[in-house]
Structure formats: structure tokens, C-alpha cells
């Protein structure tokens, strides 16, 4: 009886000790039941891919195909949503070394392959074995009686190495409590997905109101497609320890989802803002897509002509400061009212205006930062053609300060403003004055808008010119 027990135990040990390889299961997009993509501003996205997969009990090896080629593998998390109890990851490998002729040849270094040549006269194929010695800077093959460089014919390989795949794949080995179809969710961070807000505005005929449409431009350079995805966008500057550089791809397809599309919904998320697309969308590989963000009409604006000065001509003598200075054209509106009043992601606003024939013409663009609701949006569209300015320093004195560390300057200035338009305009002149300063004399009243800024508002009739003169004393303490 004892002898039988010993024999049975040996058989069990022998059976369990056999090194049978674990069969690999494969899951593709055909198994996918849900896809969620959250894209951040700085070339970063969070992917949540849920699939229905038939699993075995105990140990499983699963090849999860069609993941992003730019996955940050250390962030990958595989969960069992159906039966989380007893589900434990043992090992994860990200195979991003994709199958190409060169990669296949590299994997066969120090291994035998077949070289097939065709006889030039008879056309008969001749097959010969060779060992791949090296592939760096060219191919070196060792035959039985010689060594050759280059590829002297067609190369035939017995199989494809297991670690060389045609698509990026995450291979996971895990323990699973029960057999059957179960929902697994793979989440990970990846580069290669980005978004930005783009805005298109159109001014009315009198430059008093504008219509504004906001679009989101999405770019997918991740190396895979995300079909029928729930799309969310995070606006804000998320801190990251390491930010990989985005690769530039020129050949991107363009698609748009704007017609009859509802605007994105917005909500606060921590110290950022989250925008959710109201329908599922497909982010194809190497594609740029635009979706609607917001839309509103008849926004009241204020138009301003601004001459911006510099601080250096208050402490040094100058003759003709500027024979012709540019006067900037600005428009400003408030982020409030119907269609607005939501946090606007940073992006470029491009402004158009219709000509007399009714054709919309581009008149300028400017970039805005993330803008909370009820905050002003100010855009510089360019420089006025019919408005010019010239500056001249008419007097300069260097006075003695009360102490050796104090310097005092007294300067006089003349700014000539010319209006070639038929109608009157108002120009704002802003002069940044350094140190402790005081206006001693002036032709037009100024406002001290900050500790280092004097501002004049000057009206000029059509086809006229006006001169602004002022004298200022500035004091420096070093």
C-alpha cells in the first residue's frame, strides 16, 4: 500500500513539473465594448479601453493588441470589472518593436535564414542557408564557404519571433478566479494625442459687435485608432515630471464634426476645466479632426487704437525718437452673456470681416490664454494703416539728486498724431515711465493707470493731426 502511494506522488510531481508553455490569448478591437479618451493640453492623454474577453480560471496570458505606440507602459493598469476578486497581475510587457523587414533581420542575428537566388539563364531558384552575422550599416551573411555583404537575393525566415509584432501590443500574465467571458479595462497614459482650441470671429460692418465660434482641433499621432470613443478634454496646466516631445507628421488627414453639433459641456475638475463631447467620435491614426466647442452671436466689443511707448527715452538724450510709430488696433469683449460665460480654453482667435461684396476677409489673429468666465478678452489685430505717430524728445536735463545714489532727469516730449481717415478717431497713448515720476506740464490731461504708466486719451478729427506735449521729472534711487 505504501509503495502505491509513493508512485502516485511521483506521477503528480512529474505532471506539475512539466514546462508546458502557457497559451497566449489575443484580444483586438473586435472585442471592444467601450472606449474613453481624455486629452490634456500638453501632448498627453488618458486611455480607458474596455473589452469583453473569454478567460480561463487560474493563469492567463493575454496579448492586448492595438494600443498606442506611444504608451507610457509604466502607467498601464489592467482591471477585471466583472470579477475583480482573485484577479492579480503577475507580469506586463509592452511590445512596441514592430514587424518590419529590417527588424525581422535584426532579430535573426546569429541565426540561420534561407537565401533564394534565381539563375539568370535558366530562371531556376536556388536556396542556400546562411547565418546573419550583423545588420548594422548593412547585412553580413556567413555561408558554409564564404562571407557576403549586402542582400544577394530574397531572404526567407522560418517564422516571426514572438517579441516582434505587427501592431503595438501589451502582453499581460495574470491570475483569474473564474472562467468565462469577462469585462477587462486597460487604462494608460500616452503621448501622441493633443488638442487645441481655435476660434473664428466675424466683425459686423460698424465694428461694434462680433460673432464667435469655438472649435477644438484634435490630432492623433499615437500610432493607433480609437474608434467610437467617449471624448473629454482637460483645459489647464497639469504638472508633469517628464514630458516627451511630440513627433511631427506632415501627412495628416483632416475631418470635421461641426454641422448641427451641440457645444461641449463644461465642468470644473480640481483646478482645471473638463469639456465633454456629447457624442461618440472616432480618432483615426494620423488624423486631425475639428469638433464644435461653442457658438454665439452679436457680442458687443470695444475697439481701441493704441500707441505704446518705451521707457528708455526718459533717462537718455535723444533727437528724433521715431519718425513713424505704429498704432495698434485692439478689440475687447467680455466673456459673459448668452453663449459665453464659460471658461474658454487657450487658443488662437482669427477675426474676419466682410467686404462690400460680402466676402469675408481675414483681418488679424491673436492668442488667448485660459480665460475664466466674466473676464475680458483683448485681441491685437494689427496696426492701423491711416493712423501714424512720430515722437521727439524736445528737452533733456540731468539734475542732481539729494544723495549720491539718487539720479534725477527732466525731459520734455512731443508726440504728433495724424489721422488720414474721413472720420474722427480716439487714440490712447501709453507711456511707461520708470522710477518716481511727476508730470510737470502737459497739453492734454493724463491718467496714472499704474505706478509706472501714464496714459492719455486723445481725439483727432478726420484728416487732421494733433500734438501731445508733456514734461516729466523722474527720480531713481540705486
Cα gap 194→154, rounded to integer Å? 42
Specify the range with the lowest mean pLDDT, choosing from 39-53, 74-88, 309-323, 406-420: 309-323
The contacts of residue 290 (CB under 8 Å, 6+ apart) are 198, 215, 216, 217, 218, 254, 255, 256, 257, 258
pLDDT at 319: 67
The reply to whether 317 and 406 lie within a common domain is yes
Both 331 and 419 in one domain: the answer is yes
Q: How confident is the model at residue 256 (pLDDT cuts 50, 70, 90)?
A: low
- Does residue 5 lie in a domain region? no
Report the 10 Å Cβ neighbour count for 71.
Answer: 23
Identify the pLDDT of residue 266: 86
Helices assigned H by DSSP within 199-290: none
Question: Do 135 and 176 belong to one domain?
Answer: no
| Beta strand segments in 236-336, E | 253-257, 265-269, 272-276, 281-283, 287-300, 302-308, 320-325, 328-334
Q: Tens of pLDDT along 260-302?
A: 445 688 888 888 889 999 999 999 999 999 999 989 999 999 9
Q: The cell 512720430 sits on which residue?
A: 390
Domain that holds residue 143: 101-156
Among 297, 319, 334, the domain-final residue is: 297
User: Has residue 47 been placed in a domain?
Assistant: yes
Q: pLDDT tens digits for 454-472?
A: 999 999 999 999 999 999 9
Are both 335 and 413 inside the same structural domain?
Answer: yes
Q: What is the pLDDT of residues 306-357, one digit of tens each?
A: 999 887 777 778 766 556 789 999 999 999 887 788 889 999 999 999 999 9
d(Cα 47, Cα 33) in Å, to the nearest integer? 14
Q: Are residues 423 and 458 in the same domain?
A: yes
| Residue 15, in any domain of the structure | no
Domain-embedded: residue 14: no
Res. 10 pLDDT band, cuts 50 70 90:
very low
Asked whether the predicted pLDDT for residue 374 surpasses 50, the reply is yes
**Is 9 a domain residue?**
no
Residue 75, SS3? helix
Are 438 and 374 part of one and the same domain? Answer: yes
Amino acid at each position: 500500500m505504501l509503495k502505491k502511494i509513493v508512485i502516485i506522488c511521483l506521477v503528480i510531481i512529474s505532471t506539475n513539473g512539466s514546462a508546458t508553455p502557457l497559451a497566449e490569448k489575443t484580444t483586438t478591437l473586435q472585442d471592444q465594448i467601450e472606449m474613453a479618451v481624455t486629452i490634456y493640453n500638453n501632448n498627453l492623454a488618458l486611455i480607458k479601453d474596455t473589452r469583453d474577453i473569454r478567460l480561463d480560471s487560474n493563469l492567463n496570458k493575454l496579448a492586448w493588441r492595438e494600443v498606442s505606440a506611444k504608451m507610457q507602459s509604466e502607467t498601464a493598469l489592467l482591471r477585471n470589472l466583472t470579477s475583480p476578486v482573485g484577479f492579480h497581475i503577475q507580469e506586463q510587457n509592452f511590445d512596441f518593436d514592430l514587424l518590419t523587414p529590417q527588424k525581422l533581420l535584426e532579430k535573426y542575428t546569429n541565426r540561420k535564414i534561407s537565401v533564394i537566388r534565381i539563375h539568370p539563364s535558366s530562371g531556376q531558384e536556388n536556396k542556400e542557408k546562411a547565418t546573419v552575422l550583423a545588420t548594422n550599416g548593412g547585412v553580413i551573411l556567413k555561408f558554409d564557404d564564404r562571407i557576403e555583404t549586402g542582400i544577394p537575393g530574397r531572404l526567407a525566415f522560418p517564422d516571426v519571433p514572438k517579441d516582434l509584432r505587427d501592431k503595438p501590443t501589451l502582453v499581460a500574465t495574470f491570475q483569474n478566479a473564474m472562467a468565462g467571458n469577462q469585462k477587462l479595462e486597460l487604462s494608460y497614459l500616452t503621448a501622441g494625442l493633443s488638442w487645441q482650441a481655435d476660434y473664428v470671429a466675424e466683425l459686423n460692418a460698424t465694428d461694434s459687435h462680433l460673432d464667435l465660434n469655438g472649435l477644438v482641433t484634435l490630432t492623433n499621432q499615437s500610432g493607433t485608432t480609437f474608434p467610437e470613443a467617449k471624448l473629454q478634454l482637460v483645459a489647464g496646466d497639469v504638472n508633469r515630471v517628464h514630458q516627451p516631445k511630440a513627433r511631427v507628421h506632415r501627412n495628416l488627414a483632416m475631418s470635421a464634426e461641426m454641422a448641427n453639433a451641440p457645444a461641449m459641456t463644461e465642468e470644473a475638475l480640481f483646478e482645471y476645466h473638463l469639456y465633454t463631447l456629447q457624442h461618440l467620435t472616432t480618432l483615426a491614426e494620423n488624423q486631425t479632426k475639428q469638433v464644435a466647442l461653442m457658438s454665439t452671436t452679436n457680442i458687443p466689443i470695444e475697439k481701441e487704437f493704441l500707441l505704446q511707448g518705451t521707457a528708455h527715452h526718459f533717462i537718455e538724450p535723444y533727437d528724433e525718437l521715431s519718425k513713424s510709430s505704429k498704432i495698434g488696433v485692439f478689440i475687447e469683449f467680455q466673456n459673459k452673456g448668452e453663449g459665453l460665460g464659460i471658461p474658454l480654453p487657450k487658443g488662437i482667435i482669427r477675426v474676419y470681416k466682410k467686404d462690400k461684396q460680402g466676402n469675408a476677409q481675414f483681418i488679424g489673429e491673436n492668442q488667448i490664454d485660459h480665460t475664466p468666465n466674466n473676464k475680458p478678452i483683448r485681441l491685437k489685430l494689427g496696426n492701423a494703416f491711416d493712423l501714424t505717430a512720430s515722437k521727439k524728445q524736445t528737452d533733456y536735463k540731468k539734475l542732481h539728486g539729494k544723495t549720491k545714489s539718487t539720479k534725477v532727469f527732466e525731459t520734455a516730449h512731443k508726440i504728433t498724431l495724424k489721422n488720414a481717415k474721413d472720420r474722427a478717431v480716439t487714440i490712447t497713448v501709453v507711456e511707461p515711465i520708470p522710477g518716481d515720476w511727476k508730470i510737470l506740464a502737459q497739453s492734454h490731461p493724463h491718467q496714472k493707470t499704474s505706478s509706472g504708466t501714464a496714459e492719455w486719451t486723445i481725439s483727432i478729427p478726420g484728416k487732421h493731426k494733433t500734438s501731445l506735449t508733456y514734461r516729466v521729472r523722474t527720480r531713481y534711487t540705486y
